[in-house]
Amino acid sequence: MVATLVLNSTNIVPDGYNNKLVYNFPNSVSFPNHEIAIQSINMYYSWENINGTSLNNNTFWFRFPTADDVYTQVAIVIPDGLYEISSINSYLQWVCIGYGWYLTNSSGVNIYFAEFVINPSNYAVQLNTYPVLTLLTAQSLSYIVPTGYPNLTASNNLPQVSMYDFNKGSGSATNFTLIVGYPATFISPITTTNATGNYSFVSPIAPQIQPNPILYLAVSNIENKYASPSSIIGTVTPSVAFGSLITEVPPQFAYNKLLSGTYNGIRLSLLGSDGGQIPILDPNITIVLVIRDKADSGLKDAIEKASGGK
């Protein structure tokens, strides 16, 4: 006998994480010799890649020259959410707008002095910084200067991007370093020997834009001696854009033995790549499981073998 269990948003444990589902049987059920497998998983790609609490990867630092050889440092604290590198760059520029650390050209396009961009040929995140123009130079080039733009009179310096609080040292770096692939000791220079005065840095470490590229599906009361933890029976691998629907349909059922006993229900957990708890933003989740009596599967195998595998 094969039984099908369908778990959806009505089965989610209401703890705010949307990562645990419980299927309660109408009555206690005995499973003396049974196996369980995943039939399908449908859920949205909605777990965050930046989170200050669970991932500690939402902060880096930015220093901007606001007077001759005087720098003002601000912490760039990215709100929890799902981000591409382009979105992180947009947030940095939004912060610069708030401080007036930008210019606007005659076409109405904002000019910024620091940017994160993807360097696909190096599988890296590249930082570019540009010399900050003096107020007089900016005006002579017909740039619109916003309130808050510095009135520099000496040679122009570069803004600085840092992985750590300049006042506290590299020990203050967060896991944002993993997102962009930068060392915890990184801080960009004030000046450069480049003929243009610009500075570029290519991340030496492969960036991990999503710290949890897969999720593990764990089921209570199973005996999978090859998995650690032993409750894992499958994975969810997003091959879609953030916010899109993930559909996992295994090509064949991979059955795992249920521990013998009497059950009131089955409990599922979606775990991060490190096996820890991970919040899921969208509770629209549907997971279909199948349970079979192992004796029935043995009988089926015997029949197929006797009939020549047909």
Q: Between these two residues, 242 and 23, which has the higher pLDDT value?
A: 23
Confidence of residue 155 (pLDDT cuts 50, 70, 90): low
Q: Are residues 248 and 152 in the same domain?
A: no
Q: Are residues 123 and 152 in the same domain?
A: yes
Please report the pLDDT score of residue 2 as a whole number.
82
With 50 as the cut, is the pLDDT of residue 276 above it?
yes
Q: Between these two residues, 125 and 227, which has the higher pLDDT value?
A: 125
Exposure of 203 by Cβ count < 10 A (0-12 exposed, 13-18 middle, 19+ buried)? buried
Q: Are residues 120 and 184 in the same domain?
A: yes
Q: How far apart are CA 152 and CA 164, in angstroms?
A: 26
Confidence of residue 297 (pLDDT cuts 50, 70, 90): low
Q: Are residues 243 and 113 in the same domain?
A: no
| DSSP H or E run through 90 | helix 85-99
Q: Are residues 170 and 91 in the same domain?
A: yes
Task: Work out the mean pLDDT of the chain and round it to a whole number.
Answer: 91
Q: Are residues 136 and 242 in the same domain?
A: no
- Counted domains in the chain: 2
Domain holding 155, by residue range, is 59-202
Cα dihedral across residues 205, 209, 210, 211: positive or negative: positive
117 found inside a domain: yes
- Distance (Å) of CA 156 to CA 182, 187, 257: 26, 18, 68
With 50 as the cut, is the pLDDT of residue 302 above it?
no
Q: Are residues 147 and 89 in the same domain?
A: yes
pLDDT tens for each residue of 28-58: 999 999 999 999 999 999 999 999 998 999 9
List all residues 6 or more positions away from 21 whose beta carbon is below 8 Å from its beta carbon.
7, 11, 12, 13, 267, 268, 285, 287
Could you give the 3-state DSSP secondary structure of residue 178? helix
5-35 burial, b at 16+ Cβ within 10 Å, e below that, comes to: bebbeebbeeeebbbbbebeeeeeeebeebb
Q: How far apart are CA 102 and CA 3, in angstroms?
A: 63
Q: For residue 19, what are its two tokens?
A: 């990562």
Domain C-terminal end among 177, 202, 227: 202
Please report the pLDDT score of residue 299 as a whole number.
47
Angle at 120 between CA 96 and CA 281, to 5 degrees: 65
Q: For residue 230, what are its two tokens?
A: 């032993």
Q: Between these two residues, 191 and 110, which has the higher pLDDT value?
A: 110
Q: How far apart are CA 57 and CA 51, in angstroms?
A: 6
Q: Are residues 88 and 164 in the same domain?
A: yes
Domain C-terminal end among 181, 202, 223: 202
User: Mean pLDDT throughout 192-207?
Assistant: 91
pLDDT tens for each residue of 209-244: 999 999 999 998 887 777 667 789 999 999 888 889
Domain C-terminal end among 135, 170, 202: 202
180 found inside a domain: yes
Please report the pLDDT score of residue 266 as a whole number.
94
pTM for the whole structure: 0.83
Whether the CB-CB separation of 307 and 48 falls below 8 Å is answered with: no
Answer whether the bond into residue 229 is a cis peptide, omega within 30°: yes
What CATH number is associated with residue 287?
Answer: 2.60.120.1100
- Tracing tokens 């590229």 back to the chain, one arrives at 213
